[in-house]
Copies of this chain bind each other. A is one copy, B any other.
């Protein structure tokens, strides 16, 4: 009985200018949520950051909850974009290594702040908002799917032993990544992220032919 099928205000047939304004609002909200979290980000802060009025904001998003769902979708796209092209071709140990390096470099460039843009929203909203939780599940699934598919390709190409449960290894890799990001955010060093990813890649290597 999800209400996600209920059309959100003005979600259809926006003019190009309307699309741009909507995108600006989502971008502003995403920036603030990444920096301060969902609860600390007020609708007024988002208006100011986006340079829109309250009525403009409510024209595009009926309430903060609807806007936060757009933020989750936006952040999922953004997270996946920062990991491309590596994420879409995790089909060799070299590719896994390059992806790992990209993730570590990104956190280093952020001075380890922010954690995971999706994971941090999940931690805040998973218990509070059932619809946001569904979006977050979908977001993590969009992330896990290419990992799963890459490892399956490695098995098909004969790099991993026949019968290797690559789905399980993909989930382990996503979990290691999430935990590594959180500890890296807390400890302000990329060591936990590096150790978490390297350990799981080491486990995957133990299935090499």
Q: Which residues of A contact B (CB under 8 A)?
A: 35-37, 39-40, 113-115, 119-120, 122-124, 126-128, 133, 136-137, 140, 168-169, 171-172, 174-180, 182-183, 185-188, 191-193, 195-196, 199-200, 202-203, 206
Contacts and interface: CB of A to CB of B under 8 A. Distances in A.
B124 A124 contact: yes
A122 B119 CA distance: 12
Q: Chain A: interface secondary structure?
A: helix
Nearest to A115: B123
B185 A172 contact: no
B39 A140 contact: no
B128 A123 contact: no
A171 B168 CA distance: 20
Contact of A185 (B126, B169, B191, B202): B126
Contacts of A192: 171, 174-175
A12 to B, nearest CB: 29
Given A126-B186, A137-B186, A175 B168 contact: no
